[in-house]
Amino acid sequence: MIYLYFIIIFIFSIYSYSLVDPNLTLINSPLWEYFRNYMVILGYHQRAISSIIYLVLVLIMFYFNFYFYKNYKKYNIIKLALFSGLVLIISYPFLSHDIFNYMFDAKILTFYHKNPYFYKALDFPKDSWLNFMHWTHRTYPYGPVFLPLTIIPSFLSFGKFILNFLFFKIFFFIFYYFSTYFLNKINKKYAIFFATNPLILIEGLVNCHNDLIAVFFGITGIYFLSRKYILSRILFLISAGIKYTTFPILFLTKKINSKINLVVLISIFLIILYMSFFIEIQPWYFLILFILFPYFKNNYYLINIFFAGLLFSYYPFIALGDWGMKSNIIIKHNIIIAFFVINFIFLFLYNFINIKKNAKT
């Protein structure tokens, strides 16, 4: 079963190049050009087929997530995370361009020796990376912690794009792997749910959103909460310094049933809700919720219906193109709302049935 799983995520890694930027040259090779051109035909000119492939692969990945969760005792979760991450290092961030912005922001500092809080990509018009970048008009929008971390892969690449891309992918893999490692020390079920969850794999390892880095520091902080209190608080502060949305975790306590922890959960959810209404609802916003899973009992996997809806919300863009078209955005919102309602009804019925069963016993 595990070999089939690795085959599926390998296929997903290859499929991710279906929306590769036609202007992007990873390596100067006829083989790369042949592969890229073939994937461009699939992603840009055979959108109906491409969208079906995407939906099927995501569904299969959710099935495996459920399977591994139910059979968590059979598998070495650390090895599972290691090989999963290594397979997805080769993937292309086909649903987001954020990683290219992370790379360029760090390049402004390490290569151009300027401050990305004051300089933007457009301030370097001769740079060839601008040919495939998006959001070139903005300055650095993240907390002060993430930038120093990204200096490491940027400095080691010496301004070379292919090395930048590879080192940044490895960079995200490392944080994914050690998130799994510390979760495994807390609870193996948490760890296997996290390591094989399609939302983590796609938004964290394929699309490489820095929310995953904030999640790592949050999870690690929870691990040390009952061991090294001050270190735990520092880790929570680092997490908030990467993504401000994690700020409420600074108030987490080690008591699982504490009302303060419930307030933290509600606060984070309200922040995500605010961002969804006043900015735009984005699937990767919800990665932050994985920090809090150690505080749930055993039913956190029940929100996978909603997580599936978040990933399915990419369907109109894959199938129809034009990420900014209003009609596509409306379809995206409708998909997310529909899956949220379905999940809510499912949770209500699930809890209602369980209450009745407990009453009979």
State the pLDDT confidence band at 77, using cuts at 50, 70 and 90: very high
Mean pLDDT score across all residues of the chain: 91
**Mean pLDDT confidence for 66-80:** 93
- pLDDT given for residue 101 in this prediction: 92
101: closest CA among 128, 127, 130? 130
Q: What is the percent of the chain with per-residue pLDDT over 70, rounded to a whole number?
A: 98
**Mean pLDDT confidence for 134-144:** 85
Q: Quote the pTM value.
A: 0.93
State the pLDDT confidence band at 297, using cuts at 50, 70 and 90: low
| Per-residue CA distances from 55 to 50, 80, 271, 320 (Å) | 9, 23, 29, 14
Tens digits of residue pLDDT in 222-265: 999 888 889 999 999 999 999 989 999 999 988 877 888 889 98
144-180: buried (b, 16+ CB within 10 Å) or exposed (e) per residue?
ebbbebbeebbeebeeebeebbbbbbebbbebbbebb
**Mean pLDDT confidence for 330-359:** 87
Q: How far apart are CA 127 and CA 104, in angstroms?
A: 10
Distance, first Cα to last Cα, the chain: 37
- pLDDT given for residue 325 in this prediction: 86
- Give the tokens for residue 58: 């995501």
| Comparison of pLDDT for 132 and 117, the residue scoring more | 117
Q: How far apart are CA 161 and CA 27, in angstroms?
A: 9
Q: How far apart are CA 52 and CA 18, in angstroms?
A: 13
Reported as half-sphere exposure (CB side, CA atoms, 13 A), residue 259 has a value of 0
Q: How far apart are CA 204 and CA 173, in angstroms?
A: 9
